[in-house]
Amino acid sequence: MSEAGSPAGMMPSTPVVGTGRRHLNPSLFVGGGLVLLVVAMALVSYVWTPYPPMRVLGTEAYQTPNADFWLGTDRFRRDVLSQILVGARTTLYVGVVAVGVAALVGVPLGILAAMSGGWLGQTVMRANDILLAFPALLLAIMFAALYGGSTQVAMIAIGIATIPSFARITRSGALGVMSTDYVTAARAAGHGPFAIALRHVLPNVAGLVIVQASVAFAIAILAEAALAYLGLGTPTGQASWGRMLYEAQSTLRSAPHLVLVPGAAIALAVLGFNLFGDGLRDYLDPKLERR
């Protein structure tokens, strides 16, 4: 008989790390509501916009919000609300791809560094530290200078720059899982490293990865908006909140709504994902619950 009365060769189910009474943090609701708002805007843009977002309309430029144009028009006589709705789609697209790239590379590297140890684990983390020295925005600017400014280049660059954060937090969580009794029992039962990583380590670090993904999503939104503002991200002709800020910077005094509207959209999206990540962290790990 093995531990906990299990027959020899039979593995006990993997316990969930960090159990305890859980309370729903208000940040989870507020952040989740803001995130749902951005998602709803993106989904609505697929089926309805007041006007084609990039079409020059036969109306006056710099209109303030009114019954026909709820958020006014820009200097090119385009509808601002339509651009905001389609810009939400671009924002989510960039965030999903950038975070996906970072997680698909960073999580396996973190697990590898934790399970292998020795020179291999040290090599992985030292390479991770070198990449960590390049901020997402700086790396994206370098990629844009080499390959030209585009949404795809911005997504890949932001994703690569975010890999170290996923690798570090995954390694930290995996080291804690590797010291548990059920992993020791799995090794004694003859389970290989791949099986242990898949069945025991990955499920127990999933909460950390989800929280990190929410925070990285906010970073990706800011980076994409900054690149579009600098003219190195989403090109002209595509709706983007950062591109709207870039085009409206010369009209800050005469038409402040053209800056305030996309700026508020970016701020609310970033705030939503940050609050959502904080709420998830407190919910998934009751030890961090604020009293």
Q: Judge whether 57 and 51 are in contact, CB under 8 Å.
A: yes
End-to-end CA distance of the chain: 43
| Closest-CA residue to 275 (of 264, 263, 267) | 267
Q: Is the pLDDT of residue 11 over 50?
A: no
Of the chain, the percentage scoring pLDDT greater than 70 comes to 89
Stretch 154-182: mean pLDDT:
92
Residue with tokens 């390049």: 134
Q: What are phi and psi of 248, to 5 degrees?
A: -100, 0
- pTM, rounded to two decimals: 0.85
Of the chain, the percentage scoring pLDDT greater than 90 comes to 54
Query: What token pair was written down for 148?
Result: 């030209």
Q: Judge whether 213 and 274 are in contact, CB under 8 Å.
A: no
Query: What token pair was written down for 25?
Result: 């943090």
Q: Specify the pLDDT at position 95.
A: 94
Q: What CATH architecture does domain 37-288 belong to?
A: Orthogonal Bundle (1.10)
C-alpha triplet 174, 179, 185: angle, nearest 5°: 110
The least confident of 54-58, 186-190, 274-278 is 186-190
Q: Specify the pLDDT at position 15.
A: 52
Q: Judge whether 275 and 283 are in contact, CB under 8 Å.
A: no
**271: CB partners within 8 A, 6+ apart:** 31, 34
Enumerate the domain spans of the chain.
Answer: 37-288
Helix (H, G, I), strand (E, B) or coil at 79: strand
**Longest Cα pair distance anywhere in the chain, in angstroms?**
83
What's the Cα-to-Cα distance from 118 to each of 130, 174, 201, rounded to whole Å? Answer: 19, 15, 19
Q: Is the pLDDT of residue 287 over 70?
A: no
Stretch 279-283: mean pLDDT:
85
C-alpha triplet 127, 130, 135: angle, nearest 5°: 130
pLDDT band at 145 (very low <50, low <70, confident <90, very high): confident
CA 201 – CA 115 distance, rounded (Å): 9
